[in-house]
Amino acid sequence: MQLIIKFDDGSTMLVFKTGKFRIMGKMDDLDAHFNIFSVTLLYNDIPNITLQTMTACFTFPHRIDLALLADNIDSYYNTETFPAVCIRKFKPISVNVFASGKVIITGLRDDTSALKIELELTSLLYRLLPLYI
């Protein structure tokens, strides 16, 4: 059982009976903090809140040759099981790159890791781009 809270910015918070919660939606850190704060105002004691993981995504502006990408970075790629290149280089962070250019990064603990991965991956993709255009 869980409590579902929908915020005006379109994000959603799921609160579980254990007291843990998950906040989802497209928002920046400030909006997420305000949403969490608005819920904690309902209680006399503000609980200790710790971040577990975040998910981020970005879109590379070109289609990606996944086989070429997989050959140029530590990764797992099997078209029969999953339609993306699963990059191992950033373990324990999971990075999946799709042919459309969409990149999903899960397991993030901070924003700086996401930016570092995006910059490194974008640099590699631009170096490979002339090979498959």
Query: What is the model's pLDDT at position 65?
Result: 94
Q: Which pLDDT score, from 0 to 100, does residue 10 have?
A: 86
Contact 103, 115 (CB under 8 A): no
CB atoms within 10 A of CB 78: 10
**Res 105: pLDDT:** 93
Q: Please report which confidence band the pLDDT of residue 38 belongs to, taking 50, 70 and 90 as the band edges.
A: confident
Amino acid at 6: K
DSSP E strands in the chain: the ranges are 2-6, 12-16, 21-24, 54-59, 75-76, 84-87, 94-98, 102-108
> Among residues of the chain, what percentage have pLDDT more than 90?
41
CB 14 within 8 A of CB 30: no
Residue 30 has pLDDT above 80, yes or no: no
pLDDT at 24 over 90: no
Domains of the chain (ranges plus CATH)?
A: 2-40 (no CATH), 54-132 (3.30.310.10)
Comparing 50 with 100, the larger pLDDT belongs to 100
Average pLDDT, whole number, for the chain? 85
Taking only the tens place, the pLDDT of each residue in 65-95 is 999 999 999 999 998 889 999 999 999 999 9
